[in-house]
Each structure stands twice: as C-alpha cells, then as structure tokens.
Amino acid sequence: MDSYDYVIVGAGSAGCVLANKLGEDKGHRILVLEAGPMDSNLMIHIPAGVYKAYRNPKTNWNYLTENEPELFNRKVPMPRGKVVGGSSSINSMVYMRGHPLDYDRWQSECGLKEWSYDQCLPYFKEGESSDRGEDQWRGGSGNLGVSKGSFENPLFEAFEEAGRQSGQGYSEDLNGYNPEGIARLDATRKHGRRCSAAVAHLRPALARGNVTLLTKSQVLKINMTNNSVSGVTFKHRGETRSIKANKEVILSGGAINSPHLLMLSGIGPEKHLKEHGIDVNVDLPGVGQNLQDHSCVILQYACKKSFPIHKVNQPHRKLATGIKWVFTKKGIGASNIWEAGGLIRSSSKVAYPDIQYHFGPVGFEYEDNKISLLQAFAIHVDQLRPRSRGEVTLKSADPLEKPLMTFNYLQHPEDLAEMLCGVKKARELISQQAFDEYRGEELIPGPEVESDDDLVKFIRDVAETDYHPSCSCVMGNSKMAVVDEQMKVHGVKNLRVVDASVMPQIISGNLNAPTQMIAARAADMILGKEQLSPIKASFAFND
C-alpha cells in the first residue's frame, strides 16, 4: 500500500502504545516504521540477559556524546534501542513513574494545564497490570505486565533494613502511596519474561490485521507541502520509498532521533538548518534544545559472603541458569538484577527526592566489551532533576549520519553538589549495621577517596548516563516549545511528536513508564476521545 491513515515513525515505547490504541478501531490503517530488526534475539526476553541486550550493536543506535566539558571532556556512550520495542527491549526493565510533584510542576511551572499527576494517573493505571493488585494507585488489567522484585538474596534485605537504620526511609511501593525511601522496585516483567512495549502493545496491535510493521526502515525525511505534512520518505532494504499519511505522521523516535528528523525535514532553528544547506519550512528554535538526562555514578563493595549470582558467569552455571529459565521462567535468569533501589533527598532543603538508587547484589567489571562478575554488590546513584541543559544538533544534512549531542552533564554547580551529596548518602547507607556481615572493602571509588575534592574528581571521572535522554522537543507554548499540549508540532499541520522528547522537565525516575503514559494520552487526543477522568489518590509527602 502507498497510503495509510497514520504513519508512526519508531516502534519504541511510545510507538507501540500508539499503534495499539489507534488500531483498536479496525477502520484505521496504520503503518509503523522501525529502523531496527525484530526483537527475536533471546537475550532481549531473558531478564538477566539485559547486559547482552543493551551491548548488542545490532539492536542499538550506539550513540556517543560529544566531549562533555565537566566530565574531563570524555565522550559518554549513549545506548538507544534500535529494535522493535525500542529501548524497552534493551533497558534494565525498572518500572518507575516518577514523583507526583513532577507532573504538578509541569502544570504549575510550565503552564501545562492538562498534565497534573491527577490527570496522568488514570493512564498509568489503565496501561498496567501489576502483580501487586489493583488499588487507587495501581492498575490490574492493562497490557503492560509489571512485577515487584522477588529474587531472593540477603543483600536485598540488608539494603531495605539499611534504609530504615539510616533514616533514609522505607517504602512498600515507590509508585504508590509513599514515593520516597528504600524499596523493592517494579520491573516490566511478566511470567519471568521481559514485558517490553512490543510484547505488551505492538503484538496485540499486529494481531488485529490493520497495523503494518516494517522493520529495517529508516525514515529519511518528513514530506511537506505548505507546512502541511503529507507523509514520509524512508529507506527499506536498500530502496528509497515514500508513503502517504491520510491523517497524521507521528514521530516516536525518542529524544535524539525525533529532533534529528525534524531538523532534516526543515523544521528547527533557522540559522542552524541554513548552515547545513537545509531549506527551512518552519523556524522552531527549540528543536533539539533543552536536552536532559540523569547522570549516574556507580559504587561497588566487595561482599564477604558468596552467593550463587556471583558465580553465574561460570560456563556450567550459566548453562544451568539458562535451562532453568527456559523450562520454568524462574531463578536468576528471571531477575533483572537491579531489583531494589530508592528515592531519597540529597538534603532536608529539597522538597522531594532528587537522588535515585538502583541496587544490585553482584559486582562487575568490563574488559574488551566483556563483563566479568565479582563477589561484590553495586549501587547506582542518579541525580534526578538536573539544571544543566544540552542539545541535539546536526552533523550534516545526510540523514544516515548520526546527529551530534552534548548533555553538559553536571555543568550547573548545584547538579554537582547534589551528586556529591548523593554519593555520601549512598556510602552512609552501606555503612549501616544491616550490611556488617556482608560489607567488605569499598572497591569503587575506594576508601582512599575521602575529601570532597577527591570525590568530585571521582564523580567527574566516572559519571555516565542512566539512559534517560529527554526534553528535546518541549511541550508548551513558550518560545522554545516544539509541540503544544496535544503534542502537535507548532506551525505544522498533521504532525505530532509523541515520546520522551516532549517532556518539559525530566521526571524524577526512570522514563519508560512515563513515556508509555504520554503515548496513551496522545492516542486519545489524536482520536478526539475525552481524556480519562482524573484520579485524586492520596500520597505521603514527607515534610
């Protein structure tokens, strides 16, 4: 076919949700274009295969930032899913909605009247099927399977108890009543398998027969006439093709690819486009700007006691783990490893948590792109609400050449100060009595790194992404806004952007769940449906 009602660019977290919800009406013909392959690699579906999934160059865009000024001019690897399911097929599966006050800030500070948490909560619930059961915060019958961490390891129990002992707190559910403290995390996992957006949403959509998926199809340009979008041009199996969109083209390429494609198509900062010889269709200075991410450092500690997970990389144990997973979907293979974590405050002056932990009961080191497991445990420390801003820009007008990106990690002094406090808080947590029988020597950064100056040097030396690029096609009505509250691109007809790039401010947590919620709301907007009724759930906001 040479025309469809809706053409969705990208079969990632947002694109899969859109395909499913728009396709519920079988009268709609929908085309989904994905640059990567099908999600047929077994390592994608085994939760413990997450390392191999995200390090696989065949299912990854393999982006690299430009030199980051505050990280000793290091280039930071930026993995992004180039596969059906997008990054939901290669991520660590942590399901985190962010704090309710994040969305309320979108409403109060960014002028987004339709985006308070009360208005978003019903879509989180509708999309989710949680093994915790349905209540006023959680959904029980949605497409996305969500399960609480259940892998048994004494280190998880020590981690939770250390939260209580340190005063950093404990939460039964960070996505529920109390979004603060140490907790067992949720994962996008169902029956021991990864529940990616492709598994949850795209497969049901494809089964109806009115949604077509083309893999290995990279979109080169959005086709426009007089600021009205008519379709897209893309490359498929070596052939360049054009497809018409009778109703809309929807970009769901993510915070890097969506602004890149807009600029290639003449929608973006006029001066920058002209520098690359691109005809300007719409001067939108905010395209690619306001780029945000969570910076992350990882601490590791030797473990006095050995557990089976520390030896799982041994060939015979790896085989046994795989066989057990194949036949039972249980054991280490069914764990996404980072099954515990927390949301805490860097100081009492902060209104709500600005630091996130991810805790794993095993240590690791990389050598020649191979991972070795250590008798150790590890804790990620993420700075959640950065004030630093970066940008995505064109390297050239060639659509097959990767864009440039600079996040300016820790450029704002308060970002560095919060990360420093976060590292100290993590050390304080691990120093609690609950860890006494397990805690060996601190391996990274090491006991010799004590002063603030030494810790700052350590942070600058090792900080990396926590894989949450966002905010590069901001939603709103400011001069730098790219889309309106319904995600329609300003100054362009029949074109929307629906993915993490439309967030005006980054969410204080992992972005996969919020991205799927945004897409679900967008689908109703596209179809002209009334939004689900707001839900005023109660929450514990610690003073």
| Cα–Cα separations (whole angstroms), residue 159 to 182, 291, 359 | 8, 33, 8
Query: Can you say whether the dihedral through the CA atoms of 67, 296, 53, 85 is positive or negative?
Result: negative
92 annotated among ligand-binding-site residues: yes
Please compute, for residue 409, the number of CA atoms within 13 A of its CA located in the half-sphere on the CB side.
Answer: 33
94 annotated among ligand-binding-site residues: yes
Alpha carbon distance 15, 375 (integer Å): 40
Other residues' Cβ atoms within 10 Å of the Cβ of residue 67: 11
199 annotated among ligand-binding-site residues: no
Residue type, 186: D
Interacting residues of 267 by C-beta distance below 8 A, sequence separation 6+: 222, 281, 282, 284, 287, 489, 492
Contact assessment for residue 349 and residue 358, using Cβ atoms and an 8 Å cutoff:
no
477 annotated among ligand-binding-site residues: no
| Cα–Cα separations (whole angstroms), residue 524 to 22, 115, 160 | 8, 14, 40
Alpha carbon distance 337, 368 (integer Å): 22
Which position has the token pair 């899969």? 16
List residues bridging with 356 in a β-sheet: 343, 382
Contact assessment for residue 24 and residue 297, using Cβ atoms and an 8 Å cutoff:
no
Residue type, 411: Q
Task: Output phi, psi for 231, to 5 deg.
Answer: 165, -160
3-state SS, residue 243: strand
Check 276, 316, 468, 490 and give the catalytic one: 468
Angle of CA points 18, 24, 26, to nearest 5°: 120
Residue 468: active-site member = yes
Token code pair at residue 481: 């806004």
280 annotated among ligand-binding-site residues: no
CA-nearest of 504, 490, 479, 475 to 285 is 479
489 annotated among ligand-binding-site residues: no
By annotation, the residues acting in catalysis are 468
Binding-site residues for FAD, in ranges, read 83, 91-94, 219
Binding-site residues, in ranges, read 83, 91-94, 219
